[in-house]
Structure 1
Amino acid sequence: MRSSAHAELAAVRRARLRISVITGAIITLLVAVVGGIAHTVMTHAQDEQVWRELRYGAARGDLSSPPGCTWLYAPGVPRLANAPAGFPVRADLDRVRATGEAVERTVRRDHTVYLVRSQLRADGEMVQAVFDMRFQLADRSYLLRALGAAEAVGLVAAAVTGVVLGRRAVAPLAEALARQRRFVTDASHELRTPVTQVYTRAQVLSRQASAEDLPARHRDELARLVGSAGRLGEVLDDLLLSASLAAGPARRPERRAVDLAELARSVVAEESDRAREGRLTITVDTPPHPLFVDGIESALRRAVAELLTNAIGHTPAHGRITVALGRVRGAVELTVTDTGAGFDPTETERLFERFHRSGRHGRYGLGLALLREVVIHHGGTLAASSRPGSGARFIIRLPEGTGRPAPATAHPVGSGRP
């Protein structure tokens, strides 16, 4: 599981890597194709030239003084001192005598290649011409080494070019994501005060309506207005918290030691009225000693509250919710279990997607997606399990802290509700 900020960063990195790889592959392929074409053309040209010279020598060459790298064999002609061993090829001469047609072959011997042509000349003399390809093969070897060096240089150039193009091409995407996060943060800050004012005035009007005995329809409308304003405030708090987690270290809230057990008990106490309204039983199982984790208290409080809110919203009347904390292998583990309808195990990952809706009381929002961001930001893990009709279990595991809690800061990001 990864937070949205991490997902955005990973997407930018993947885009850069993809552009770098594609650019590098194209440049490398071009160098390889050009080199392959050059080698093929050179090999073909050399072969054609050598065969032309060999055919001319076999037909008209001076038997006593052949061209360089060429030897001519004929009956009665003395063998040259520098002639390679194993020639002439008797089988080819016998074949020419039998058919009267010229015979050409390639012979690999003594770490080189020989081109051999046997034929009858116009005057009826039997001749076999042999050409040593040693120098042509050396040229091809030099070319291959040069192409290898060019390919290595091309790979380095491709890597550098790919990285540069990747950064330049993806820079607008990264800037757009940064601007989006800044806009969300700025807009949330600007909206926070007027939404709080609307919520407060709606509460006042709702209480006045009850005192003045207004019609039930008007009181219901005011109650819905209060609820809508409250939910809008929650969304703004979620956006601010998400933006603060994605911000750089300079703008990120300071971490401190937080007693997760005490925090969980506090959140349960805050939700006790809702639990009574839903006729639910909430049990808190915490050890008598503190369970410290290093983190942002407001974010951790929001995470625990989201788990409890989720459990309350998905548990029917007379159901039970259990909040348990403990130490597990150097980590602090918080488990929230309910007796609600549960969810399909195949939907586990989608539960933590933004604006995912599930269950009878599910709602579109940041909810569990923000919970995941908070847990990952604190270096922890989040797991969920369920079977339809058998309730659900959510487990948060955070690294155990060692410090003592510092005094609470005033108005932490995401801590308030209108």
Structure 2
Amino acid sequence: MQVALNTHETEEELRRLLAALLASGLVATLVGAGLAALMARRAMRPMAEALAIQRRFIADASHELRTPLTLMSTRAQMLRRSAVAANEDPAGLDELITDANQLTEILEDLLLAADPRADGELETVELVGVAREIYARFTEYAAERSIVLKLGHVPAHALVRARAAALQRAATALLENALDHAESSVVIEVRHEAKRVLFEVLDDGPGLPVDAEQHLFERFASSRVHNRDSEPRSGRHYGLGLALVSEIAHRFDGGVYATCAPGGRGARIGVWLPATNTTERAAQ
């Protein structure tokens, strides 16, 4: 007995079923991708709006502050000319002009940091010069708080690729933090470590609480806001200084660190940046 069966219709049905499955799978994939993109966009919208508001605020504040700073610098220069003409010492006016120029540079750096499209050109910055400059600026300020400010170990050169105004901001924030918690002395140091340059500030205050290093550089962290009298030295603390230090360090491929000072008394807080080739050869 011989039986013959025509499978053409069955094969055609299978092909149509396979085509339908492929088409439905493709449509489902496209619909799922579209829904995922829409949900992700809706979820990111509040964060994007908050970031845009922050950038607008920084840009507006920097722009509005630029005019009074320019006027202040101009008036200080005019007063200096008058003092020189009257054979008077213009030292205080020179410092005022320097501070006004530094504030202007800080505003320019803030504008660059607020604009994600503007990377800004990096420059070779001498960290030893930054250390000596803030030491000179804050010596009298520290003395008014009965704190001895010292310039500790510094090498001959410590060059990094960054922006001078940004490093001035970071160094100032580190020093202000140390002065707020020091008992009697603060030391500024610059050191080489492998292919890195370290800028650090040591204070003899109460030190760091347990596990403080994990969140010390977060915004609004306030684990070290009290001095030996258990009261803030200089008004309200917002916990932004060290967070800004961390952001500046990471902008230039660096990092931050915080440990207890040698002997377990006080804190050692600093920032590290990659050393330039010139600095590496000088250190060797």
TM bin, normalised by shorter chain, reads 0.5 to 0.7
2:247 paired residue among 361, 367, 373: 373
1:247 alignment counterpart: 115
Pair 1:144–1:285, CA change in 2 (3 A): same
Q: Partners of 1:352 and 1:240 in 2: how far apart?
A: 24
1:350 aligns with 2:224: no
2:60 alignment counterpart: 186
1:398 alignment counterpart: 273
> CA offset at residue 265 of structure 1?
1.8
1:159 alignment counterpart: 33
Q: Partners of 2:167 and 2:126 in 1: how far apart?
A: 10
Identity of aligned residues (%): 34
> CA offset at residue 305 of structure 1?
1.6
**Structure 1 consecutive aligned stretches of length 4 or more whose deviation exceeds 6 Å:** 135-138, 195-198, 236-240
Q: Is the 8 A contact 1:320 1:338 kept in 2?
A: yes
Q: Partners of 2:199 and 2:168 in 1: how far apart?
A: 12
1:112 alignment counterpart: none
Q: Is the 8 A contact 2:106 2:166 kept in 1?
A: no
Paired residue secondary structure (2:216): helix
1:385 alignment counterpart: 259
> CA offset at residue 149 of structure 1?
5.1
1:21 alignment counterpart: none
Paired residue secondary structure (1:257): strand
| Unaligned stretches of 5+ residues in structure 1 | 1-79, 84-134, 199-229, 405-418
Q: Partners of 2:31 and 2:144 in 1: how far apart?
A: 69
> CA offset at residue 363 of structure 1?
1.4
Pair 1:342–1:138, CA change in 2 (3 A): farther
Paired AA for residue 341 in structure 1? P
Instruction: Describe the superposition over 1:44-72 as per-residue Cα deviations: whole angstroms up to 9, x where unpaired.
Output: xxxxxxxxxxxxxxxxxxxxxxxxxxxxx
Q: Partners of 1:183 and 1:395 in 2: how far apart?
A: 29
Q: Is the 8 A contact 1:315 1:338 kept in 2?
A: yes
> CA offset at residue 329 of structure 1?
2.6
Instruction: Describe the superposition over 1:19-59 as per-residue Cα deviations: whole angstroms up to 9, x where unpaired.
Output: xxxxxxxxxxxxxxxxxxxxxxxxxxxxxxxxxxxxxxxxx
Paired AA for residue 256 in structure 2? L
1:338 aligns with 2:200: no
The equivalences for 1:9-158 within 5 A come to 82=3, 143=17, 146-148=20-22, 150-158=24-32
Instruction: Describe the superposition over 1:165-222 as per-residue Cα deviations: whole angstroms up to 9, x where unpaired.
Output: 6458756753553244123321343246558989xxxxxxxxxxxxxxxxxxxxxxxx
> CA offset at residue 256 of structure 1?
0.9
Q: Is the 8 A contact 1:307 1:394 kept in 2?
A: yes
Q: Partners of 1:386 and 1:173 in 2: how far apart?
A: 36
1:277 paired residue among 144, 160, 164: 144
Q: Is the 8 A contact 1:259 1:291 kept in 2?
A: yes
- Alignment length (residue pairs): 236
Q: TM-score, normalised by structure 1?
A: 0.47
Paired residue secondary structure (2:142): helix
2:171 alignment counterpart: 304
Q: Partners of 1:151 and 1:299 in 2: how far apart?
A: 53
Paired residue secondary structure (2:268): strand
Q: Partners of 1:384 and 1:402 in 2: how far apart?
A: 26
Q: CA RMSD in A?
A: 4.1
Q: TM-score, normalised by structure 2?
A: 0.65
| Unaligned stretches of 5+ residues in structure 2 | 73-98, 227-231, 280-284
> CA offset at residue 257 of structure 1?
0.5
Q: Partners of 1:195 and 1:355 in 2: how far apart?
A: 28
